Chains A and B, each alone.
Chain A
Amino acid sequence: MPDQLIFAMEVTFNGLLNGVMYALVALGFVLIFKASGIFNYAQGVMALFAAMTLVGIQEGRVPFAHLINAMFGTHVHEFGWEVPALLAILLTVLVMVAFAYLVQRFVFRHLVGQEPIILFMATIGLAYFLEGVSDLMWGSEIRNLDVGLPQGINDWIDSTTFEALGYGFFIDNLDIAAAVIAAILVMSLIAYSQYTKNGRAMRAVADDHQAALSVGISLNYVWILVWSLAGMVALVAGVMWGSKSGVQFSLSLIALKALPVLMLGGFTSIPGAIVGGLIIGVGEALFEFAVGPLIGGATENWFAYVLALVFLVFRPQGLFGEKIIERV
């Protein structure tokens, strides 16, 4: 087999796994958009906040340490204990649920029936607010996140491909773990929304508020539920990206990468988010591999956005988005 083809295969494989990571972030957007019609600009910051909180709890840091010290002249920074990863994740989930409740109680409950653009603006405000809160709560240093996920090169794939092709593929264990977790997450989300009472209530609220009320669904309850789920997806994305590149401010920028994914997959489709993520992941990896050297490289920075633009022109609802059918 020619070397070029083997490299292309490796690039494709890595692109796929990268695409899964993009899809993870995009999922959070789709969830909230489907159930409340809100495009949640704060999704990326929620991932940052979730990851920060997880690290903070794990390392036993005192939340708002700087604030407390400044106000009371104390010097507390750490509790002096370490929380096991699993317990820390559970506690973080609780924090995200509390966050969902507060968002609903203090922001979106007052904006019921407003234009989508108003709700969107509110999420922008929420993003900056949450960014400030995570800074104040946990500080702005870069932290290492380790919840015990496998890391480093996968030896089995390396040796197998070496034997078969004479060239060992470099595939990170973390990427494989991310793919597996994403698959489980997506399947459970789909099952949840299709076959359970609350899932059905979520879809009902997304479809028609009045009709939902008339069958006895509490809008507030469903919205809190949706924001909690989005918070949990943000946590998963935050853990994955945080393990990969450290927990730091730039984590919130991964949201930008989710935008082209959403335009490809459609804002309303969970499978769309996955497929969109994979296409972008593979597309940008292969494009960089094939065309990058000819035009000086660094095509990953813009390829996804150009692809999204093309899609916007030819298929604005995305690959899997709901087509707007009006009966006249």
Chain B
Amino acid sequence: MLDNTSESYVTADGRTIGGVVMEMRNITLRFGGVEAIKDISFDIREGEIRAIIGPNGAGKSSMLNVISGFYNPQEGEVIYKGAKRPPMKPYQVARQGIARTFQNIALFEGMSVLDNVMTGRLNHMKTGFFAQGLWWGKAEAEEVANREKAEEIIDFLEIQAIRKTPVGRLPYGLKKRVELARALAAEPQILLLDEPMAGMNVEEKEDMSRFILDVNDEYGTTIVLIEHDMGVVMDLSDRVVVMDYGKKIGDGTPDEVRNNQEVIDAYLGVAHD
């Protein structure tokens, strides 16, 4: 059972979960008259795998878009590393160390796998405009260092064989993995995964689950993920937020959530009288 303090604790499988790194406070997001998210609060602890689940249209992706700055909520606050985050553009959020993948894969189709992963390193490259243009001074060393890091991640996700292949030619499952590689290349503090396993077969799902666990374990990256496959979610995550019709109906460990009557109703349907 978790208490609500920000002290760290050790999980059953021996990973250390730190204090709260991000907190959503009373977030409300509207599109015109439609409330996609209604007054939701939850927190994300350092080093944990935090899942957001819920039926279709529950507002899960909207929530992820709020975290990554693609949407700015009308009400509520995002607290990141103890400070209130002002409304930001997505690229500014990315520069704060929050990387993401997309439900419908957003890769640079015309570029090679390696180049895609290298774009993830952009924010780690500091050389000025002119130095780069002329490959002056640090520019070359920097390119090499970042290339090394990119190769390391390519090895880690086992996509060496397709390094030079244009992404547009890859099958769906591999694209998903390349997208993860690009997000990972940024060495993010928080990694947001929007349905990383959607449309995959069992084997691919197992691979992806293993990579997600490895990333969390190896790099200590905090992961927030949206997923439909309940089995996967319950196996992977430390804590789960359950959403339905834009509202939060459950929050806790997989076991707690599984036994929550409201959650069961939302998923199995219940007769309203």
Contacts and interface: CB of A to CB of B under 8 A. Distances in A.
A214 B109 contact: no
A219 B122 CA distance: 13
B38 interface: no
B108 A198 contact: no
A214 B102 contact: yes
Given A211-B107, A214-B68, 6 more contacts: A197-B127, A199-B132, A207-B108, A208-B108, A216-B186, A217-B91
Contacts of A196: 132-133, 135, 139, 143
Given A195-B143, A325-B169, A214 B129 contact: no
The binding surface of chain A is classed by DSSP as helix
A325 B122 CA distance: 27
A213 B90 contact: yes
Interface of A: 188, 192, 195-201, 203-204, 206-208, 210-219, 225, 322, 325, 327
A200 B122 contact: yes
A200 B120 CA distance: 10
A216 B106 contact: no
Interface of B: 68, 70, 89-92, 94-95, 99-100, 102, 106-111, 115, 118-120, 122-123, 125, 127, 129, 132-133, 135, 139, 143, 168-169, 182-183, 186
A218 B119 contact: no
Contacts of B169: 325
Task: Return the 5 tightest CB-CB contacts between A and B, nearest first.
Answer: A216-B94, A211-B106, A207-B108, A213-B90, A196-B132
23 contacts: A197-B122, A197-B125, A197-B127, A198-B132, A200-B115, A200-B118, A201-B122, A203-B110, A204-B108, A204-B111, A207-B108, A208-B106, A210-B70, A211-B102, A212-B108, A213-B89, A213-B90, A214-B94, A214-B183, A215-B94, A215-B119, A219-B91, A225-B129
B33 to A, nearest CB: 23
Given A216-B91, A216-B122, A216-B186, A203 B106 contact: no
A192 B108 CA distance: 18
Contact of B119 (A200, A210, A225): A200
Contacts of A197: 122, 125, 127, 132, 143
Contact of B95 (A210, A211, A216, A225): A216
A214 B123 CA distance: 11
A72 B109 CA distance: 57
Contacts of B119: 200-201, 204, 212, 215, 217
